[in-house]
Structure 1
Amino acid sequence: MDENIHDYEKASLSLEFESRQKYLDELRKQLEVLNNPTNTISSDEMIEQSREWYRIGHTIKGTAPILGMVRMGRVAALFAECWEWSYETNYLSGNDIQSQVQDCYIASRSLLNELQMEFEVNCKELLLEQKQAPLKEVLPSQLLGSRLLVVDDDRVLRSYLARKLRLEGYNVDEASNVETAIKLLKENDYQLITLDLMMHPQSGYEIFEVLKEDPMIKWLPMLVLSGRNDMKDVVRCFRMGADDFVTKPFRYEDLSARIQRMLLRHMEFALMAFNDPLTGIHNRRYFDLQLQVEVNRAQRYNEPLTLVIIDIDFFKAINDKHGHPFGDLVLQKFSHLLQSCLRNTDILARLGGEEFGVILPGITDLEAEQIMNRILEQVRREPIAQHDFFDYFITFSAGISSWNSNKSVQNWFQVVDYTMYKAKCNGRNRVLRTSYGMTRENPADLRLPSEKSITILIADDDRLLRTMLADQFRKKPYKLIEAQDGETAYRILVEDQPDICILDCIMPGMSGFEVLDRLRTEGTRAAKTQIILLSGRSSEEDVQKGLKLGADAYMFKPFSLIDVEMKVSKMLFAARSH
């Protein structure tokens, strides 16, 4: 470890010296521009020259102190202040502009002489000594290889930051303008971006709009660098989504520490928000976001994309026979097996219960079918876990379909989900591939084994909604009963004992919650009846309340009718299977 730190320190010192040398070469060119003004004729040319002088002064102000040239930065700040008026010229006439330029040129001449003197002094100092850089800490192992994007139109500062960050162990890309930055953001996956606000010709604010609108990069941490210590800029940046704001000039050590902390915190938040705590793989929230991301990517590059949904066969029996701790172990072992059989670019998530989703970029449905069959063969052949010193084997059912740009992402997911349940209906322990031809109006017909007459109660005071739901289920041989108030729903639940009850939370007489509470208190609910609670409020508190009172599932309004049908099919199939 000590040797690594020593090597890093030597490399850092060498980089400090080399960066100062390159910066002084760049500064020489900038001073030549300031010392040789163009003989301007028109007011527009005067304005453009004044703005160029302001940009040069503004750049020196931000970069020179970072490389140890603090006094040069102070002088440059005063120089830039002289020419800042050039960005607010709407109220000036041609004669006024000429007079203003003349006055500013006289006022800034002494400052330009000071910049020239500082330049010469720093050149001499560079030949005599290298200032010692402070000892750096070794980058935390979880951050090694993190990919960063440095966006700044100051070539010297951009190169300096990129090279310093690479020395610490990051992978770094550079962009000198907004257009290049946006292109890189869309083509690559980054963990953080540093953004200079004041660039030419577009400002850094343009990138905020891109981040906000693109689901691929909207969660990307952003650290803003600015040469203006303006509270309006700070507030605007934070409101637009910035995670931190640093004013030039800054100490590199401070910037490095901020970047490390932002990356570590983002990793912690992502772990909590997007990972399943039991298996350690991604959760449904992350899966849904990445599904849209991969669809966008597949459309942009015209590449194949395949979705797989996997469900462990007879998992409820595992929990019932061996207990939930062993069921959890099976889920963990199966997750690990899937991960070991997939590529790093594939996206695996636990969608809920014993159901898993896999996104396979660049893979056709035929190739995905071969991959899943190999995994299924391995699962059949090798025990997933041990229980009471006995090997325990499982199987799974999987549905597969490739992306079709003529359909929606939601419909695509439903197609694959239906295909997986069709695999279960056909005997489980198999992989089933389907074309993307099923539509919302023409869903796959999932026939339950040994299907008997099924009764569905639709309890809702909204007559139109009851009619729509009833029409959705009439294409199957179901017996449909309707109730427009809670009292009627309770009576039907007790007397007719339907297989499924779709129960609205808010109804006249008795609410859905009150119906559930009365069924639980009086013990009159039939064992076979499964209840889907409907709510117009997206409230986690309502969900927990409904589930505690005995609801089997929860759906928020508005919902698609096919989602309700799919939910009912799953519940009925699970009930018959177990």
Structure 2
Amino acid sequence: MNLKKYKDLLFQKIKNQLTEWFEQDKQEAILNSEVHRFLHSLKGTAGTLQLGGLQQIASSLLIKVENKQGEHWPMNELRDFLYDLIEFSYEYEHFHEVEEKIADTRKEHVPVIQLIDDDISMLILLKDAMESKGWMVLANSDPIKAAEQYFDMRPDCLIIDLHLPHKNGFQLLEEIQQHANKKFIPKIMISIQNDRDTRIQAFKMGADDFIEKPIDLEEFLVRMERHLDRKKIFDQSVLIDELTQVYNRKFLQDSMQKSLDEMKRNGKSFTVAVMDIDFFKKVNDTYGHLAGDRVLIGFAQFLKDHIRSTDTLFRFGGEEFIILFPATTDIEAKEILKRLLQEFSKIVFSENDAQFSVTFSAGVYMIIDSEIAIPDAIKIADSALYEAKKNGRARVESANKIQVAQMKKTLHVSVIDDDAVIRTMLMRILQNMKFDQFELNVQVYEDGLKFIQSKRVDEKGGHFLILDGMMPVMDGLEVLQKVKQAKNAKDITVLMLTGRKSEFDIAEALKLGADDYMTKPFSITELEARIHRLIQRLN
């Protein structure tokens, strides 16, 4: 007997019940007896339909319900309690006939590849092929948007089609090459135009490879693996930051460990300082990323010229720098940095007939425990940096004095999806995510109109939207269009979840400013990893 029809009906019943519970606006709690009846029925039916995994989940939950103290379930507590059932139901609905194993994408340090091509068919094909390898692919069809995303997301590899609207691949490559001429990122040009002059021109302009269309996917993936391997070896071998020519974070780890080892031998404490250029994003937005690079180079050179010969300077990432002050107290380091701040703020930068000055904020921490973990020491100094920014910027604070716990920026995360099951899963996933730089403020919305009416995007700070592409009342693309027209659009990152296979709809989402997209159905594990990596790369 074919049981598929009855299995599908059972999972639809589960979804209907969960939606009924979690969609109720007025009811704040669910009777325990109601949950018991639901699970008891589910256990019996799952066994009859030979759904062993579902029967096991229902049995386990039923035991806990029978032992529960109290007659009611608070809504949030019930969501967490039934999460395994929710996830199992979603996976069955979308993947019970899918046999292939999805690549493990939970690794945090998988390569990030930026793909730029206005041929949406090719873009979708290459993105799917590369993501099947476990790589994260950011897709762009607009070269102007692509350039902005390149500077913001810092990909490990870049693939550019030669023929693009508004700005061809050569022009885009030249713009990026000017920005990244001291940083090694493999750049691959793809084109149906494969004559000798075109290939030579691509290599002259900084391309590391040239691949002719139509593309042999197997060969393409092998060549991509080679480029990513070269990038990994290069990153592991260098100790100098390519742009600023100061030590990088890899050498910071070695240097701090040596300082801690020396401290164990002679008992001398030392101080670590974390510095951050104030309003650096505003410099990039106002004068361009090349101007931002010149500010970074100028800042690094200023520090190299003015710190003591015994001190060591490192670029930690972005606009953050670290100085190690050997045999120095936090009070002494603070006085040094205050003097540097006063002198640096007098420097005038010139860009396109405009002149401006910048300042920096800093946090210092004197290390007195030789057993402290290096990441913990940096986090404590960084907490003092956060305090300096909170207190008005252009100042230096000591973690030893203020004794504050690590402080984080707030990132407003909004889930906009009409499917209650997906909203519930995403809420659980996001609530369990931890980031060094962000505290997540998560809200869910069942349709786009409610999200727009909430004025959520007007809240101060960064925003990360997980937006369903097809919803009643207000379509996801319409929501995206409104969001990207907001005054703070540059602070809003959008991940589109779409069940649409249409190339037109994907092209429209990218055109309107979506930063990434995933096509339903998707693996929960893959979605979780994608969200984590996108947020991790936000400044």
Q: Which of the five TM-score ranges fits, normalised by the shorter chain?
A: 0.3 to 0.5
The normalised TM-score by structure 2 is: 0.39
The normalised TM-score by structure 1 is: 0.36
Rg: which structure is higher? 1
Q: Give the number of the structure whose residues are more often helix, by fraction.
A: 1
